[in-house]
Amino acid sequence: MYHLTALVTLLAIAFYFFTAINVSRSRDKTGVKVPAMSGHPDFERAFRIQMNTLEWMPILLPALWLFAIYISDAIAAGLGAVWIVGRVIYFIGYSQAAAKRGPGFAIQALAAITLWVGAIGAVVLRLVK
For every residue of the chain, DSSP letters joined together read --HHHHHHHHHHHHHHHHHHHHHHHHHHHHT--TT---S-HHHHHHHHHHHHHHHHHHHHHHHHHHHHHHT-HHHHHHHHHHHHHHHHHHHHHHHH-GGG-HHHHHHHHHHHHHHHHHHHHHHHHHHH-
- pLDDT tens-place values along the chain, 129 residues long: 999 999 999 999 999 999 999 999 999 999 999 999 999 999 999 999 999 999 999 999 999 999 999 999 999 999 999 999 999 999 999 999 999 999 999 999 999 999 999 999 999 999 998
What is the reported pTM?
A: 0.96
Question: Fold for domain 3-128?
Answer: Four Helix Bundle (Hemerythrin (Met), subunit A) (1.20.120)
